[in-house]
Amino acid sequence: MRFEAFSRRAAEQRSDCLVIGVFERGELGPEALAVDRALRGRLRAVLARGDFSGRTGETQLISELSGLKSARLLLVGLGKKAQFNRRLWRRSLTSAIHALARTRVVSAALALERPPGRELNDYYFGRATAELTGAALYRINDLKSARRPRPPALARILVGPIDSTVLGAVREGLAAGAALAESAQLLRNLGNLPANVCTPRYLAAQARELERTYRRRLRVRVFDLTGIRRLKMGCLLAVTRGSEEPPRFIVLEYRGARRGRAPLVLVGKGVTFDSGGISLKDPPAMDEMKFDMCGAATVLAAIDYAARRELKLNLVGLVPACENMPDGRAVKPGDIVTSASGQTVEVLNTDAEGRLILSDALNYARRYEPAAVIDFATLTGACVIALGSHFSGVMGNDDELARELVEAGTRTDDRAWQLPLTEDYAEQLRSNFADFANVAGRDGGAITAAAFLGKFTQGLKWAHMDIAGTAWTSGANKGATGRPLSLVGDFLSRRAGG
């Protein structure tokens, strides 16, 4: 997909289809008014027939119009003018792309009303436009045997009219958004693949693939079972014990800045299937535990994005990957294991496996003397209870870092909310038999999980993102969402200095 910005009036822009917004009750913004003038009043005449209500997301394609430089005109409902905001703009834009994807339109000129408010400045307007277009055109990498329907013809998106003084900022945003859309596709594809395809070895192969693509700046190392034993990652080894599928510990090192500069380390939970282990989960929706590697996929996609944009920072990705399965050899409730940090853990519930594998990876992060460490994990059902599917949870030991992430989420509409992680919560992990336990009862479950991770990040600037509620959707639209890549991409861009 190519994205371009234009400055001339929409009616003057050449394309296969011009897309304009129409508010409810036929209210027209400046571009729509100019289009109506170019059409000598025929837009108003069409609206006067009353077939098009202008409700958010409603679309109507008009093919036989002369007076425009575009062959077709697509009307998109923007809802009530007084209520128009960023959220409704995002919905309208998505509907417009869906409508275009059903046609043979190759190039489309988007001239929707821009959402009001200072927050969505020119850069973020361009970024969101490209990103939303990519997301709307995403097709699930299903394994259906029937022949695939013809893919959409859409290949060129023109955005305007953009004041010539801000063309640069919009173009920058479009470029960032286009890259994000590509990386999000990688993330979503990995998430959607079933666990019998997307195994720890498959994730490692994907990392190798990235290494081939970005050979100049990216180095990948993969530890197998023997290597993981040598690293003394007793927690990762405990989780993988019950599975026939071999584990991997994947290390990606991206160099975009001078050698001495402290890297950011991103850690991603890579449980390719979480049955719960001996503390077996209930059957309903257990299939969704194939998404339990979305943290890992976020890290791979973030590295892909940084490398694609050649961001000027050093970045390390760490992915502990394994399955969590019940078996005669599986770790049992009450077993005590020794983590790579030397601390002992009483595994009271084998379904709290994410924090176990993350703890060994977080400890591994120390060797980089990182500027900051951020982990991404579909870690707790409790976080879904607390925040639903709208906000990711942010916790950590550095409020400045947490704030940076939350603000990145606000700018990108990939929202996150900080939960309090104070010492009180760590006390709930007390054990009579080991340094601490891996669970602490139901109360504050999202936070006690983070408190467990906090045992392994002392002295590091660390933040944890619980994406259990945001990484995928259930129900009829089951599938990976691509979150929180948009947030992470913005955080990385800023850290790289724009």
Identify what 468 binds: Mn ion, ligand BES, Zn ion, none; CB under 5 to 8 Å per kind. ligand BES
* Token code pair at residue 82: 């007084």
Q: Which does 382 bind (CB under 5 to 8 A by kind): Mn ion, Zn ion, ligand BES, none?
A: ligand BES
DSSP 229-244: HHTT-HHHHHHHTT-S
- In whole angstroms, give the CA distance from residue 160 to residue 360: 49
Residues 31, 36, 113, 292: which binds Zn ion (CB under 5 A)?
292
Find the shortest distance in angstroms from Cβ 195 to Mn ion: 13
Strand duo 59-62 + 70-77: pairing: antiparallel
Catalytic residue, from 171, 188, 241, 355: name it: 355
Is residue 161 reached through a cis peptide bond, with omega within 30 degrees of 0 on the bond before it? yes
Determine contact, residues 20/76, Cβ cutoff 8 Å: yes
Active-site annotation holds for 461: no
Using CB under 5 A, count the residues that bind Mn ion.
3
> Least distance from C-beta 380 to ligand BES, angstroms?
4
Residues 243-272 that bind Zn ion (CB under 5 A): 271
Residues 66-95 that bind Zn ion (CB under 5 A): none
Q: Please report whether residue 277 would count as binding Zn ion according to CB under 5 A.
A: no
Pick the catalytic residue: 281, 312, 332, 478? 281
For ligand BES, the binding residues in 454-473 under the rule CB under 6 A are 468
* Neighbouring C-beta atoms of residue 496, cutoff 10 Å: 18
- Residues in contact with ligand BES, shown as a per-residue x/- string from 98 to 117 under the rule CB under 6 A: --------------------
Rounded least distance, CB 354 to ligand BES, Å: 4
3-state DSSP call for residue 287? Answer: helix
CA distance 212 to 472: 28
Contact between 335 and 352 (Cβ < 8 Å): no
The Cα 323–Cα 326 span in angstroms is 10
- Give the total of residues touching ligand BES (CB under 6 A): 16
Is position 323 an interface residue for Mn ion (rule: CB under 5 A)?
no
Tell me, residue by residue from 278 to 317, as one string, x for binding to ligand BES by CB under 6 A and - for no binding. --------------x-------------------------
For residue 291 the two structure tokens come to 């998404």
For residues 408 and 481, what is the distance between their CA atoms, to the nearest angstrom? 18
User: Of 24 and 351, which CB lies nearer to ligand BES in the complex structure?
Assistant: 351
Contacting ligand BES (CB under 6 A), which of 170, 439, 485, 496?
439
User: Using CB under 6 A, which residues numbered 262 to 281 contact ligand BES?
Assistant: 274
Contacts of 150 (CB under 8 A, 6+ apart): none
- DSSP assignment of 34-57 equals HHHHHTTTHHHHHHHTT-----TT
Q: Which of 31, 36, 131, 274 binds Zn ion (CB under 5 A)?
A: 274
The listed partner (Mn ion, Zn ion, ligand BES, none) that binds 233, CB under 5 to 8 Å by sort, is: none
Amino acid at 13: Q
Q: Does 274 bind Mn ion (CB under 5 A)?
A: yes
Q: Does residue 382 bind ligand BES (CB under 6 A)? A: yes
Token pair recorded at residue 401: 């870092």
29 or 270, CB closer to Mn ion?
A: 270
The pair of structure tokens assigned to 4 is 């371009």
Angstrom CA distances, 491 to 189, 393, 406, 470, stand at: 23, 16, 9, 18
Which residue bears the tokens 């046609």?
103
Instruction: Return the residue of 152, 354, 444, 482 that touches Zn ion, per CB under 5 A.
Output: 354
Residue range at the interface with ligand BES (CB under 6 A); choices 4-12, 69-77, 159-167, 345-353: 345-353
Exactly one of 253, 351, 360, 404 binds Mn ion (CB under 5 A); which one?
351
For position 16 contacting ligand BES by CB under 6 A, the verdict is no
Out of ligand BES, Zn ion, Mn ion, none, what residue 115 binds, judged by CB under 5 to 8 A for its kind, is none
* CB of 58 closer than 8 Å to CB of 77: yes
Choice from 341, 378, 412, 428 touching ligand BES (CB under 6 A) = 378
CB 180 within 8 A of CB 134: yes
281 flagged as catalytic: yes
Q: If you compute the radius of gyration of the chain from its CA atoms, what whole number of angstroms results?
A: 24
DSSP 122: H
Q: Report in angstroms how near the CB of residue 355 gets to ligand BES at its nearest.
A: 8
* Helices 294-308, 200-213: crossing angle, 10 deg rounding: 0
Which residues neighbour 219 within 8 Å (Cβ) at sequence distance 6 or greater? Answer: 211, 252, 253, 255
Residues annotated as part of the active site: 281, 355
What are the residues binding Zn ion (CB under 5 A)? 271, 274, 292, 354
What are the residues binding Mn ion (CB under 5 A)? 274, 351, 353
What are the residues binding ligand BES (CB under 6 A)? 274, 292, 349, 351-354, 378-382, 384, 439, 445, 468
